[in-house]
Structure 1
Amino acid sequence: METYRTLLFVPGIKQQWFEKIPSYDMDGIILDLEDSVPLQLKAEARAYVAEAIPFLSSKGIQVFVRINKGLQEYDVDDLKAVVTQGLTGLVLPKPEGPEEIKKLSVIVEVLEVELGIPVGTIRFIPILETARSMQLAYEIACCDRVIGITGLSAKNGDVARALGYQWTPEGLETLYLRSKVVMSARAAGVLPIGGLWQDIHNLEGLKKNAAFNRQLGFVGELVLHPSNVPIINEVYSPSDEEITYYSGMIEAFQIAEKRGETAIMYEGEHVDYAHVKTAREVLTTVDRMVRSK
């Protein structure tokens, strides 16, 4: 599975920004046709995004598009325009439950067949923004094509309105939501994705919030501004100290294992097979990040 530490939103109507995207060093881009596009400019933005997908994918960029949604169905015009060669996936706003995801998957399959794209190529990242979708996080995460679900904790956004919480920098009011999304995603074998940090110029607050999200088990975040990308990338990448620590653990354990010992002390702590398995997973993540560069 790809590593998505940073998924950067770019408004679909801002065509003049598209050429800058390859310089942003994010793991994936989300060209947005939804909330950042005025209603009267939806068709124009759709055309811009459709044209940008092959250009960006040719640069090796993972391209997602956030499409529009009515009361019950996702916008067919959006789908017909953006489901094309080079598209990595669709970001789905405000799903109510797995039934919508399954219905959309059938529509996308028809489009893939028509275009000669291998069935299943286009993946989904649902944004859990309604109370029902949060309650059904695991069921949504288990749907075909879903590679990640989001546990957002923004101030005054759709999630805040849906749950009625009052935002604080400490984030206690969204702790349960975020933890539930992480657990649901992990149980389903997909990526738990956090965000969104709205005070984009408060970089210290961004770093602190992202560090807490990583502690909870998130693997990356949706990002609103290019200046936030390096910070989120750093937070969600194992540090040099972590790499040294886990590499040393594996080495020490291998030496002990040759002596017939599988429960040892390493830097003052008990270590056995479970801890070494964690260490190897961390280093595998590092290797994946290096290969994706």
Structure 2
Amino acid sequence: MNTIAMKPARSMLFVPGNKPDWIEKSVTAKADALILDLEDSVPPDLKVEARGIVKSKLAWLAEQGQRVFVRINRTPYLYNFDDIVAVVGPHLEGVVISKPVGPEDVDCVSMMLSEAEYRNGVALGSTRVIPLLETARALELAFEIARRDRVGAICGATARNADVARALGYVWTQDGRESLYFKSRAVMAARAAGKLPIGGVWQQVRDLDGLKRASVLDRNLGMTGELVLHPSNVGTVNAIYSPSPDELAYYEGMIAALEHAQANGRAACIYDGEHIDIAHAKTAREIVASARSINA
């Protein structure tokens, strides 16, 4: 199995799979990754057509340098194997699965992906899985889900009146207090398993101030990126999850200050009025490396 860590994605933009022109235009939004949707955003009578459209666009999107995931459908008993066989290949980074009840659903879709990889001639284990934690049991078993080999990230996302709200019976508020506990559980589960925690989803797509507040909250909780519903929201999310020039300068200065202290036989120093030591510099180096990766 592929155990290499998944590259972070600040923004993962949903695009309906039955809209070929939207798929092509979505590249200009500059999302770190697209999620071509075969599920909720596609009418039932257009799902087969959407599958063909998505399959036909994967190579073109790869030529544009665009990372791509596909959200597949779920049947009453399995995830849709026709969706999986159609999209698995060298141009697909992974699949997004909705409403897993628990880790056994991830195991099931993993076996289906292995069969599709075998049939389509791609490396075994190369297709990632991103589960959307939308059931109470999945949220309770977040770590068991996250630690599965194929899982690259888990989504502790919320949306007003959507699946998670219904599953847990909470009342959505703009300040997000009702979702802090299970979002933090998703972050801890992902981090403990060495995977990425992803937040979102902001449904009031014209309210960019609200989007900014919600994204800042997720970032502060430890999320590494957001699910995004509209191209106009991508820039805001990318900015929230990217260190500003001032932040970058601050952390580079912190690294330099500690290196200077260590060169003079000290293990700690005062930097910008704050005590710092090797633990702080390690955090600073991770932030600087992440910023350089984004810029690259």
The TM tier, using the shorter chain, reads over 0.9
User: Is the counterpart of residue 106 in structure 1 residue 111 in structure 2?
Assistant: yes
Equivalent residue for 2:283, pick from 272, 278, 281:
278
Which of structure 1's runs of 4+ aligned residues deviate more than 6 A?
A: none
Corresponding position of 2:265 = 260
Corresponding position of 1:118 = 123
User: Is the counterpart of residue 209 in structure 1 residue 214 in structure 2?
Assistant: yes
Shift in Å at residue 3 of structure 1?
A: 2.0
- Output the TM-score relative to the length of structure 1: 0.98
Equivalent residue for 2:70, pick from 52, 65, 72:
65
User: Is the counterpart of residue 233 in structure 1 residue 259 in structure 2?
Assistant: no
User: Is the counterpart of residue 165 in structure 1 residue 176 in structure 2?
Assistant: no
User: Is the counterpart of residue 3 in structure 1 residue 4 in structure 2?
Assistant: no
2:197–2:224 Cα contact (<8 Å) kept: yes
2:89–2:121 Cα contact (<8 Å) kept: no
What number of residue pairs does the alignment pair up?
291
Shift in Å at residue 77 of structure 1?
A: 1.1
Q: Distance in 1 between matches of 2:44 and 2:23?
A: 20
Shift in Å at residue 103 of structure 1?
A: 1.7
User: Is the counterpart of residue 74 in structure 1 residue 79 in structure 2?
Assistant: yes
Corresponding position of 1:177 = 182
Shift in Å at residue 107 of structure 1?
A: 1.6
Alignment-mate amino acid for residue 255 of structure 2: I
Structure 2 gaps of 5+ residues are 1-5
1:72–1:100 Cα contact (<8 Å) kept: no
Shift in Å at residue 72 of structure 1?
A: 3.0
SS in 1 for 2:13: strand
1:3–1:289 Cα contact (<8 Å) kept: no
Identity %: 50
User: Is the counterpart of residue 52 in structure 1 residue 81 in structure 2?
Assistant: no
Shift in Å at residue 71 of structure 1?
A: 2.7
1:3–1:288 Cα contact (<8 Å) kept: no
Q: Distance in 2 between matches of 1:60 and 1:109?
A: 25
Corresponding position of 2:3 = none
- After superposition, the C-alpha distances for 1:175-210 in whole angstroms (9 at most, x for unaligned) are 101010000000000000000000000000000110
Q: Distance in 2 between matches of 1:242 and 1:16?
A: 38
Q: Distance in 2 between matches of 1:281 and 1:135?
A: 30
1:15-54 aligned within 5 A? 15-54=20-59
Q: Distance in 2 between matches of 1:263 and 1:18?
A: 51
Q: Distance in 2 between matches of 1:80 and 1:283?
A: 39
Q: Distance in 1 between matches of 2:293 and 2:32?
A: 12
